[in-house]
Amino acid sequence: MSERVAIRVRGLKTAYGSHVVHENLDLDVCEGEIMGIIGPSGCGKSVLLRAIVGLKTPAAGEVEVFGEDVTGVEGDELSRVQQFWGIMFQDGALFSNLTVRENVIAPLKEHANLSRPFMRQLADMKIRMSGLETSAGDKYPSDLSGGMRKRAALARAMALDPPILFLDEPTAGLDPITAAGFDKLVRDLQRSLHLTVFLVTHDVDTLAATCDRIAVLGDRKVLAVGTMDELRKEEHPWIRDYFGGPRGRAAAAGVE
């Protein structure tokens, strides 16, 4: 993990009308780390992700990616900075009327001036990198299992070789064996490609298997940041209950 900050959030405020989700939130994500984002339901984990990537306009504050202010950028500038990252949404958000291969090609068509055959070759490579057979590229999302759709969505997120991946609840809805396989895939890709990963999850097993550090959201801000061992020593009631409960203890024991 590098000391260079890949994502810097300062004084972030997000709101929906009069409902304030975040207030004066600060967070640094270092280059080359997997940062897990956890917190109680409704604390704004996915909202934070959306604010960083420009899908939710902050009411106040700044977001920098690799030293560039990306707060409120629009048009061509937004298109340029979007190439810093790939996003895998919780439900995959694949285009149902496109094949897997066409889904992966979609960001290449939007952001890269490449020939159709070359885009197809790149898409097939990303599909294989995600752990799917090349033949899966001919299938539609409705033809795939839940785990395969997650991998197809990951392939699309990696289409432009972004240095940052945003993963929103990547193992939600998966059985434990499939989820563990996906966790290993994310960790292996992060290490081999030196990716920075911003990973929203509620799954303590995913935290234990993949994350270098974990940020806990609550009370409209970041309550604590640290390794799992460091957070287990925190006195905040929600953090103590999360890591001190049976699942938290089991996950911690599994990586000792």
- Residue 207's CB is within 10 A of a number of other CB atoms, namely 27
pLDDT at residue 93, rounded to an integer = 85
The Cα 153–Cα 227 span in angstroms is: 28
Contact between 137 and 127 under an 8 Å Cβ cutoff? The reply is: yes
The Cα 198–Cα 182 span in angstroms is: 15
Instruction: Provide CB contacts within 8 A for 154, sequence distance 6+.
Output: 88, 130, 165, 167, 170, 185, 186
Tokens of 65: 């990616």
Q: What is the mean pLDDT of each run of 10 residues along the chain (256 residues)?
A: 88 96 98 97 95 94 94 83 91 89 94 92 97 96 94 96 97 94 97 97 95 97 97 95 73 56
Residue 73, burial from CB neighbour count under 10 angstroms (0-12, 13-18, 19+): middle
| Percent of the chain that is helix, strand, coil (3-state, to 5) | 45, 25, 30
What's 5-255's CATH class?
Answer: alpha beta
Cα distance between the two ends of the chain: 20
Sign of CA dihedral 205, 21, 196, 178: positive
The Cα 89–Cα 80 span in angstroms is: 20
